[in-house]
Copies of this chain bind each other. A is one copy, B any other.
């Protein structure tokens, strides 16, 4: 059912901001592939914005869209909402409420501390999905996994992941200590491969510029290190998380 040309309703235009996403539980997913993945996922889709001229080029996408609520926008209006330089013509509005979990239930979870770059966030979500880690803990100072850039970098994995959003990651980790082994990735610990197997575990990955907080390090049952062999001072947090997750499989 295709709506008429018209401006973007304020409640959707506001979704470029984190506050509005948090209040509404909605987020934007931009791009043909992403919208397709969203429509095939369990995430409810409220609306898909379609750039004028999009329909008719991708028959399979058109078919998928026929069961969604759509609104065609002028190129000008569409591009205002778009976050990419060359918009592909689709922006879906999805509800992420079902992607939020109150508590960790999986036996192994990556936990992210202070990950500030949306591309790193999305890449970690994508890697976690690849390696079969379906639930991620996110500290309060992390970038929003539902930002447009993070969603796009996740390449659709955001729709298959469950997030435990912590208001105080350190306190949360402390409350699970004992039930979970708390691992912290940092530069001066044991070889990360030595933690394969073992009890249910959370492993904290931190912004590589600042590392984990003292409080988080103090909670660690183990410090996990990916040994370096060259001159680089650190790995990207997205790479470090993926290398660690790969070693657990």
Interface residues of A (CB under 8 A from B): 119, 123, 126-134, 155-157, 160, 226-236, 238-239, 242-243, 246-247, 249
Does the CB pair A231–B129 fall under 8 Å?
A: yes
Find chain B residues with CB under 8 A from A231 CB. Answer: 129, 157, 160
Instruction: Name 29 interchain pairs, CB-CB below 8 A, sorted by A.
Output: A119-B119, A123-B236, A123-B238, A123-B239, A126-B232, A126-B239, A127-B235, A127-B236, A129-B231, A130-B232, A131-B228, A131-B229, A131-B230, A132-B228, A134-B230, A155-B233, A156-B232, A157-B231, A160-B230, A160-B231, A160-B232, A226-B246, A229-B249, A235-B242, A239-B239, A242-B242, A242-B243, A243-B246, A246-B247
Find chain B residues with CB under 8 A from A155 CB. Answer: 232-234
Q: Which residue of B lies closest to A243 (CB)?
A: B246
- Could you say which of A226, A232, A235 has the most chain B C-beta atoms within 10 Å of its C-beta? A232
Query: 15 extra interchain contacts, Cβ-Cβ under 8 A, other than A157-B231, A239-B242, A246-B247?
Result: A126-B239, A127-B236, A127-B239, A130-B226, A130-B234, A131-B230, A132-B228, A132-B229, A133-B230, A155-B232, A155-B233, A155-B234, A238-B239, A239-B239, A243-B243
Complex CA–CA separation, A242 to B233 (angstroms): 15
Complex CA–CA separation, A238 to B155 (angstroms): 14
Find chain B residues with CB under 8 A from A232 CB. Answer: 126-127, 129-130, 155-157, 160
